[in-house]
Amino acid sequence: MNIIESNMIIANFMGAKSHKEALLSMHGYEIWLPIHGIVNHTTIELGKGKTIHYHDKWDWLMPVVDKINKLPNLKKQGDTTLDSFKRDIRTYVGLVDIQNAYNHIIQLLNWYNPLKK
């Protein structure tokens, strides 16, 4: 999974919506995020408009951590709990290690998303 796909997993968790103007223009590469507004979700390159930066900016990632910390504990049978993921994420946030915090958030969301359906 690449950064763009991983960022979209987080964006969807954070409430991403299709942007009406993008649908009308047939580009389909813009989404609306509750905190960040309209962003281009198909690239992380500079000069391509406002892009998603969960992977490299704390001001993008910390609202995700806050939302995760508010989730009720869940457990898959014979599997790890949501609390263990939260604990690992908090550890990497405390160490100011954005890459590992980001990677653990992606792991958590891949584990969590099937449970919430």
pLDDT band at 77 (very low <50, low <70, confident <90, very high): low
Residue 21 has pLDDT above 90, yes or no: no
- Average pLDDT for residues 24-39, to the nearest whole number? 75
Whether 41 contacts 8, CB under 8 Å: yes
Q: Is 40 helix (H, G, I), strand (E, B) or coil?
A: strand
Mean pLDDT over each residue of the chain, to the nearest integer? 84
Question: pTM for this structure?
Answer: 0.84
Residue 26 has pLDDT above 50, yes or no: no
Q: Which residue has the higher pLDDT, 60 or 114?
A: 60
- Average pLDDT for residues 3-29, to the nearest whole number? 77
